[in-house]
A and B are shown apart, each in its own frame.
Chain A
Amino acid sequence: MADIELKTAPADFRFPTTNQSRHCFTRYIEFHRCVAAKGEESRECEKFAKYYRSLCPGEWVDRWNEQRENGVFPGPL
């Protein structure tokens, strides 16, 4: 068996609670702010992308992407 590295988003002391929705949301926002600052394909933003993809439910990510496309995403991007 090849060694597969299994990682998830690190524990963030800003979100100590069991409910990690805000953690997911914050990582999503951080990714998009990073992309806005550093450009589409930059590698620093890859880290945030992995975090939000492991934390957030797929449905939420799809809904937020749709909202962003329509210009109605409510968060502080």
Chain B
Amino acid sequence: MRPQRALTLGSGDEGGGLHTTEAKWFMIESQRHSYHLVDPSPWPISGSLGALATTVGGVMYMHPFQGGATLLSLGLIFILYTMFVWWRDVLRESTLEGHHTKVVQLGPRYGSIPFIVSEVMFLFAFFRASSHSSLAPTVEIGGIWPPKGIGVLDPREIPFLNTPILLSSGAAVTWAHHAILAGKEKRAVYALVATVSLALVFTGFQGMEYYQAPSAISDSIYGSTFSLATGFHGFHVIIGTLFSIICGIRQYLGHLTKEHHVGFEAAAWYWHFVDVVRLFLFVSIYWWGGI
């Protein structure tokens, strides 16, 4: 009698050779549930160490200690590296190993919503700071807004161009989504290329505008609130652009299917959030704040 094929993770000398991945399929079959129990990973601890280095380095940098800047940069690089390898592992587990069943997908999908809400809260703080200073300007700056002598950007120039650029980028990402849902893979790649190009043009124009702006971050409370609100928004634009580039690459490599593209959906939601924030920024800080 031929022996049954053993359910082992042996690397292949018993009866025909089981690759680890194939053996894992057997493991899933014996799992009897559709959840994903992840393998042990070093990335959480490495991320924590990176965060520790960043915070300690940051404090050292802001106080008169030697080596603060180095530790801060090392910590930040380490955090970025952890993000890269962790998410690479997620992609490997989901797309290549197939662990992301329908229930597993619900986690990242509905989890990205509280994340985006937390980002909204973060930016809301800077909007509130701006309103606090601009709605009832203090006697010390003359009771007027913008304060006397502060050169403001004309909202009808570059800001008025950049806002529709970002809006079109949001439309392009919706186009990409529809293409993915319709199974039109090449068209989805083009749409994502359009999304990213518009985003890069936006960032380029913003950078140029910052460079030749008449006032700077240290020019009174106006400069502080303007720069922090628009600056952090710009940072989120860059993150969203990076996320979209990765989606574009994945789409090109064929990772995304019409039923399963959670990463893309998270990127699209994030991109729309960035877009909406830009609209609020334009109306309240560029337009109203400059009058």
Interface bits B129-170 vs A (CB < 8 Å: 1, else 0)? 000000000011111100111000000000000000000000
**B142 with A76: CB separation less than 8 A:** yes
Residues of A within 8 A of B148 (CB): 74-76
CB neighbors of B among A12-70 (8 A): 21-22, 24-26, 29
Nearest chain-B residue to A28 (Cβ)?
Answer: B139
Nearest chain-B residue to A76 (Cβ)?
Answer: B144
Q: Number of B interface residues, CB 8 Å?
A: 9
Q: Number of A interface residues, CB 8 Å?
A: 10
B contact face: mostly helix, strand, loop, or mixed? loop
A contact face: mostly helix, strand, loop, or mixed? helix
Most A CB contacts (10 A, CB to CB) among B141, B143, B147, B149 go to B143
Bound Cα distance from A74 to B147, whole angstroms: 7
In the complex, how many angstroms separate the beta carbon of B13 from the nearest chain A beta carbon?
Answer: 84
Residues of A within 8 A of B143 (CB): 22, 25-26, 29, 75-76
Residues of A within 8 A of B147 (CB): 74
Bound Cα distance from A73 to B144, whole angstroms: 12
Bound Cα distance from A75 to B258, whole angstroms: 61
Nearest chain-B residue to A63 (Cβ)?
Answer: B140
Bound Cα distance from A3 to B203, whole angstroms: 73
Bound Cα distance from A25 to B147, whole angstroms: 15
14 contacts between A and B (CB under 8 A): A21-B139, A22-B139, A22-B143, A25-B139, A29-B143, A73-B142, A74-B141, A74-B142, A74-B147, A75-B142, A75-B144, A76-B142, A76-B143, A76-B148
Q: 10 smallest A-B Cβ distances: which pairs?
A: A74-B142, A75-B142, A25-B139, A74-B148, A21-B139, A74-B141, A76-B144, A25-B143, A75-B143, A74-B147
